[in-house]
Each structure stands twice: as structure tokens, then as C-alpha cells.
């Protein structure tokens, strides 16, 4: 599933401004030029200074956001409460120079998710805002780089889903495989095709079709079942994204999609035969798939026969932009 970095509109200067307030923020910087692959796992420090005094009581916290290429973003690093002493001569900060420690828990959900899924290390500055003023750091922090792709089957249909014994034609499957993260990842997966029983245990492996691009692709394939001589019964056609396990994914448990297949005897056709000739892709109700379940399909693929693989034929393909 990909997230876009939202740029926050800001009218004030990125450097210290204090034309509308007497207590203002300045000298915002990271304490070190940190390089942190997992920003949610290791804290880092922001240093800043509050200057000036004013008659009325100002706001009680400083807000911090990341800035990318000098442009403020909506990636929030949280708020730091400040202490203000107010007396007959006005209000002043208790401690002018302060440190704010950023933890994963101090970030909002959007920020944590975005930084954790960054595929390449990215340099950020920090902007601090207080009392209508703002200050941008001159140094940078490098965050991210631990993000991984996440391939999954998003949609599809199969026709026909009901076939007689010895069906001489091919079944047609149209499906979409997508990637929700790290779309510049250099390795693309292949989608594998299996015949399975009603317990989703593999019976035959038909082969695989490679994805076309980092975002994903749409495909249409024909599969011949005639050489299998399937008896009357209910089966599944199962699609497995990254069938060769060539991609190190963020989530390895969401790669399966299934179609229901019914083989019937025309001489005994009756009410037990499904009326629909088309079946939609079922992604196993989005339930996580166990390693043991996945291993069954590895074994079926390794023991596949040449005749089974020859039964798979791609008709059309189109990459997702």
C-alpha cells in the first residue's frame, strides 16, 4: 500500500523571525549529524534557544517538523513543553537553551510510518516553531534506508470457474500484482500459478509470470487443465506473488490470491453446479499466511513437471505507472 510526503504551507521565513512576538525561537539544530536507519528505534536530540521577553504569557510548547530540501513538511517530531516565568516586568523563558529528545513514540503515526518505510537514506533539516516564530537548522540528519517492497495481488478474475470433465479449452485469468513501497527496488518478483485442493494444498505448479515494473502490472494468462484429467470435484487456482522468494519484503504473508474451480460431470449436471462462470480473486480474507503453508508451494514448484509449466500461456501484459 505508497504514502506521499505532504508539504506544509508556511508563510513565515524558515529562519528566525520575531516581528510579531517578543519571545522567539532560534539556533535550532540537531546535536549531531546523526545517521539513523530506523528512526523509530533510536532517539536523537534537537537543540534550540528561546530569546527575549514579553508582557503577556506566550504558548507553552515548541513544535518541531522535518524539512526536506529547505521545504517544511508535515512530518512532525512532536512538541517540547517550555517553562515561562511571568512577573511584574513581563515573561521570560526559564531556560533559554534547551534540548528536545525525539523518540519514535513522540512522532505521529504518519511520520513513523513514512520514515520507517524510506527505502534510501534521506537527509532532513528540522524546523522549530514557537510563539509565531520559526527557525530552520543549518545541519542535517540522515534518516531511513530500512524500507522494503511489499508485493501483493490486488484484484483479478477467472473464467470459466465451472468446467466439465476433460474440458478442452483453457481457463482465462486476469490479475493485478502491485507493490506498495520501495518501487525503485532493483529486483522484480514473479507470480506463480498452482492448482490446489479445497484445503489449499498444492497439487500442480503451472509456472510463473514476472511483474513488469516497480509499481506493479496487470496480466492476462491462459491455463490448460486438459492434461491433468481432473476428476469431478472442487479445486482452487492459487496465485503466489514472489513465488521464487527473490524479494526481501516488508510483509511476506500477504502474497496469496485464490480462485474457486469446479469440475463437474455433464451427464450428472444438476443443482450442485455453480451458476456463475466467473470467479473473483480472493486474497485469503487478508489473513496472514504461515511459513509452513508457504513451504508447501515451494515443494510443489520444485517437483513440477515440464508438461505442467507448458500449460501456462501469457496473453497480455501492462505495467502500472
User: H or E stretch including 116?
Assistant: helix 109-116
Query: Does residue 312 sit within a domain?
Result: yes
Judgement on whether residues 123 and 59 belong to the same structural domain of the protein: yes
User: H or E stretch including 163?
Assistant: strand 162-164
Distance CA 274, CA 278 (A): 10
**Summary count for the chain: helices (H), strands (E):** 3, 21
Query: Does residue 16 sit within a domain?
Result: no
Judgement on whether residues 204 and 117 belong to the same structural domain of the protein: no
pLDDT at 148 over 70: yes
CA-wise closest residue to 117 among 142, 141, 144: 144
Q: Which residues contact 108 (CB under 8 A, 6 or more apart)?
A: 76
Judgement on whether residues 170 and 38 belong to the same structural domain of the protein: no
Judgement on whether residues 113 and 42 belong to the same structural domain of the protein: yes
Query: Does residue 10 sit within a domain?
Result: no
Judgement on whether residues 203 and 136 belong to the same structural domain of the protein: no
Please count the residues of the chain.
321
User: What CATH number does the domain containing 54 carry?
Assistant: 2.60.40.10
Judgement on whether residues 165 and 274 belong to the same structural domain of the protein: yes
Query: Does residue 11 sit within a domain?
Result: no
Query: Does residue 3 sit within a domain?
Result: no
Query: Does residue 17 sit within a domain?
Result: no
Judgement on whether residues 189 and 315 belong to the same structural domain of the protein: yes
* Cross-strand partners of 67: 72, 125
Domain endpoint, select from 86, 113, 143: 143
Domain endpoint, select from 90, 124, 143: 143
Domain endpoint, select from 95, 117, 143: 143
> Would you list the DSSP string of 49-89?
EEE--BSS---SEEEEEEEETTEEEEEEEEEEE--EEEETT
Judgement on whether residues 169 and 103 belong to the same structural domain of the protein: no
Judgement on whether residues 108 and 175 belong to the same structural domain of the protein: no
The pLDDT-based confidence of 130 (bands split at 50, 70, 90) is very high
Query: Cβ(262)–Cβ(243) under 8 Å?
Result: no
Higher pLDDT, residue 260 or 304: 260
Domain carrying residue 79: 24-143
The percentage of residues in the chain with a pLDDT greater than 90, rounded to a whole number, is: 55
Judgement on whether residues 70 and 193 belong to the same structural domain of the protein: no
pLDDT at 276 over 60: no
Q: What is the pLDDT of residues 23-39, one digit of tens each?
A: 999 999 999 889 999 88
The pLDDT-based confidence of 321 (bands split at 50, 70, 90) is low
pLDDT at 271 over 90: no
Judgement on whether residues 52 and 181 belong to the same structural domain of the protein: no
Domain count, the chain: 2
Alpha helix segments (H runs only) across 219-290: none
Judgement on whether residues 176 and 122 belong to the same structural domain of the protein: no
pLDDT value of residue 318:
77
Q: Whole-prediction pTM value?
A: 0.73
Residue that has been written with the C-alpha cell 460431470 in this structure: 265
The pLDDT-based confidence of 17 (bands split at 50, 70, 90) is very low
Q: Is 221 helix (H, G, I), strand (E, B) or coil?
A: strand
Amino acid at each position: 500500500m505508497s504514502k506521499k510526503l505532504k508539504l506544509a504551507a508556511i508563510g513565515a521565513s524558515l529562519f528566525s523571525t520575531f516581528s510579531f512576538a517578543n519571545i522567539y525561537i532560534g539556533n535550532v539544530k540537531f546535536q549531531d549529524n546523526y545517521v539513523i536507519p530506523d528512526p523509530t528505534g533510536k532517539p536523537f536530540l534537537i537543540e534550540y534557544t528561546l530569546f527575549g521577553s514579553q508582557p503577556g504569557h506566550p504558548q507553552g510548547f515548541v513544535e518541531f517538523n522535518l524539512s526536506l530540501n529547505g521545504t517544511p513538511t508535515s512530518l512532525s517530531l512532536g512538541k517540547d513543553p517550555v517553562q515561562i516565568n511571568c512577573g511584574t516586568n513581563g515573561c521570560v523563558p526559564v531556560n533559554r537553551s534547551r534540548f528536545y529528545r525525539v523518540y519514535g513514540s513522540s512522532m505521529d503515526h504518519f511520520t513513523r510510518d513514512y520514515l520507517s518505510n524510506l527505502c534510501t537514506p534521506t537527509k532532513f533539516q528540522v524546523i522549530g516553531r514557537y510563539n509565531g516564530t520559526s527557525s530552520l537548522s543549518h545541519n542535517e540528519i540522515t534518516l531511513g534506508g530500512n524500507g522494503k517492497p511489499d508485493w501483493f495481488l490486488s484484484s483479478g478474475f477467472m473464467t470459466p470457474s465451472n468446467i466439465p470433465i476433460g474440458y478442452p479449452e483453457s481457463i482465462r485469468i486476469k490479475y493485478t500484482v502491485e507493490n506498495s513501497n520501495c518501487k525503485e527496488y532493483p529486483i522484480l518478483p514473479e507470480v506463480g500459478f498452482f492448482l490446489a485442493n479445497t484445503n489449499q494444498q498444492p497439487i500442480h505448479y503451472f509456472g510463473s509470470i514476472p511483474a513488469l515494473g516497480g509499481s506493479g502490472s496487470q496480466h492476462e494468462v491462459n491455463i490448460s487443465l486438459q492434461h491433468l484429467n481432473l476428476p469431478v470435484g472442487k479445486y482452487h487456482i492459487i496465485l503466489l506473488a514472489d513465488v521464487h522468494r527473490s524479494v526481501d519484503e516488508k510483509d511476506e504473508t500477504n502474497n496469496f490470491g485464490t480462485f474457486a474451480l469446479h469440475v463437474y460431470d455433464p451427464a450428472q449436471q444438476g443443482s450442485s453446479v455453480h451458476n456463475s462462470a466467473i470467479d473473483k480473486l480472493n486474497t485469503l480474507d487478508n489473513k496472514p499466511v504461515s511459513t509452513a503453508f508457504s513451504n508447501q508451494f515451494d515443494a510443489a514448484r520444485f517437483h513440477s513437471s515440464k508438461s505442467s509449466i507448458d500449460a501456462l500461456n501469457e496473453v497480455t501484459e501492462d505495467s502500472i505507472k
